[in-house]
Amino acid sequence: MVMCMVMCMVMCVVMGVLVRVLVMVGHHGILSTPARAYGTGARPGTPALAAPAPISHTGLMYGNDVIDPNEPLNAAETDAYDAAAAHDDQRDGSDAVGDDFDALIAADQRIEPRDAMPEKYRETLIRQIAQHAHSEIIGMQPEGNWITRAPSLRRKAILIAKVQDEAGHGLYLYSAAETLGIDRQELLERLHDGRQKYSSIFNYPTLTWADCGAIGWLVDGAAIMNQVPLCRCSYGPYARAMIRVCKEESFHQRQGFEILWNLMRGTEAQQAMAQDAADRWWWPALAMFGPPDTGEAAKGGHTEQSMAWGIKRFSNDDLRQKFVDMMVPQAEKLGIVLPDPELRWNEERGHYDFGEIDWDEFWQVLRGDGPCNAERITHRRRAHEEGAWVREAANAYAAKQETRQKQKESAA
Amino acid sequence: MTEAPERASERSWPLWEVFVRGKRGLSHVHVGSLHAPDATLALRNARDVYTRRQEGVSIWVVRADDVTASSPAEKDSFFDPAADKIYRHPTFYDVPEDVQYL
């Protein structure tokens, strides 16, 4: 019952009002330390994740458009980032190329909400941003499942903060989608009746506590790899939302790594639990990058057009390869064996070779036949319906206040 | 009582634009938008959505409907008056190189 209530609260967050509830929970006693205090200590022997101290999660650097969007992100200091940043060098925001959509795209300038744009560009962005937003709020469920059962108060506080971040990411993204002239209510309806999708990864269950570690490490790791290039997306509001999201995701990935790091140094049962979670999440995480889209497979998909429009910067296959190359050394550090007998360094290519992904499973889950598809959408719909009275009450209160204000003004 | 065309709750709350002052000495900067039924909740939601990591010391919220914006279509003519007055820039003026503090 308590878990049920927490989940309802968590799932209502997207409608705004109850964000406060979680924040209040998060401000008790020892939790009043800023969340970043948990993530700043350098982990021994994890060079790939060791962040420069202090982490720049502060006002000056973060979250505002006052920052130069081309400044490095701490979220993912990877080749993908460097390449995207280099790609961006010519963008100076100058008006030299005028307002023509094609000229702006050719000059690698950003498109802003009221600029003229092809209808297809608008539709593609609405679909992509909405799917991204839906993934964030559905993604609250698998981990929200563990809030009441987190093994310590510290873990519980972190998990609440993380799940709240997912709600926040959903809101940034819905806000970006709305600049394209669509209402959030409409997007939620499309999610609820299945017309729009969310990432398949969230249709897998979180069976053990170690799954929270595996999600942070693998799923959020893959998400960062996907999202960092989106910080350079041609559509301004989406790119700005992604900068914010990427900075927050780096805490998510590090806390996941830390969970597994601790389990792998624990008892045999704890180590087995961590290994089991990695076994179950590795392949779905690789599938997160989407179906193959290079070589023969490039024909007919969205990738080519999205790359021409500067919405997408790298192919699914490139990002997946970069992800594998990044994760193998981290798995070795953890002492986790990745569940792929074909995984080995290829000197010639300078990359890790890896086995075949089960795309039949991917399509099956995408079509709705995954382990948790029905549960996720049912829960989302229920949370929305059960939050209706909150939205109605807030409307009624706002209307009453407005009437009173008008009466006061006319009396004066 | 006539039936309303849609339930009140299914009407989206109005959209608010959010401006955050990152720290003392900086101006408020637009960071995004959100939905809220009234100004008080818009402020609170803005705090929770846009300043979870101490990104701000002050927030403004403005009803999106209340913002009047210049039109991108008229951008050229609208900003044209500034285009041909390069004498407003200090670099316009020819001065000898050996004059100090100028």
Read off the pTM. 0.79
Closest CB to A64 among B9, B20, B35: B20
- pLDDT at site B65: 93
Residue A274 burial (CB count, 10 A): 27
Instruction: Retrieve residue A46's tokens.
Output: 């994890």
Residues of A in contact with B15 (CB under 8 A): 178
Does the beta-carbon distance from B9 to A241 stay under 8 Å?
no
B22 has a chain A CB within 8 A of its CB: yes
Instruction: Please give the pLDDT value at position A303.
Output: 80
Going from the C-alpha of A228 to that of each of A51, A102, A326, the distances in angstroms are 17, 24, 14
pLDDT band at B84; cut points 50, 70, 90:
confident
Residues of chain A with pLDDT under 70: 1-98, 297-300
Q: Tokens 């937003």 label which residue? A: A133
Side-chain-side CA neighbours of residue B86 (13 Å): 4
Is B72's CB within 8 Å of A391's CB? no
Asked whether the beta carbons of A313 and A307 are under 8 A apart, the reply is yes
**What residue of A is the nearest CA neighbor of B75?**
A99
pLDDT at residue B101, as a whole number: 86
H or E stretch covering B58: strand B58-63
Give the whole-angstrom CA distance, residue A166 versus residue A145.
14
Q: What is the pLDDT of residue A93?
A: 53
pLDDT of residue A295: 74
* Closest CB to B54 among A59, A112, A389: A59
Residue B16 phi, psi (nearest 5): -120, 140
pLDDT of residue A33: 34
Helix axes A19-26, B39-50, angle to 10 degrees: 50
Distance of CA A352 to the CA centre of its chain: 25
Residue with tokens 């010391």: B57
**What does pLDDT average to over chain A?**
81
Rounded CA separation A170/A13 (Å): 10
Contacts across the A-B interface (CB distance below 8 Å): 120
Joined tokens for residue A50: 């060791």
A16 and B10 within 8 Å at the Cβ level: the answer is no
Among B15, B35, B70, B79, which would you mutate to test the A interface (most chain A Cβ atoms within 10 Å of its Cβ)? B35
Chain A residues touching residue B54 (CB < 8 angstroms) = 34, 57-59
Question: In percent, how much of chain B has pLDDT > 90?
Answer: 59
Of A245, A290, A398, residue with least CA distance to B14: A398
Minimum Cα–Cα distance from B64: chain A residue = A179
Dihedrals φ, ψ of A204, to 5°? -100, 145
What local confidence, expressed as pLDDT, does residue A94 receive? 54
Query: Is B69's Cβ below 8 Å from some Cβ in A?
Result: yes
Determine the pLDDT at residue A293: 87
Give, rounded to a whole angstrom, the gap between the first and last alpha carbons of chain A. 51
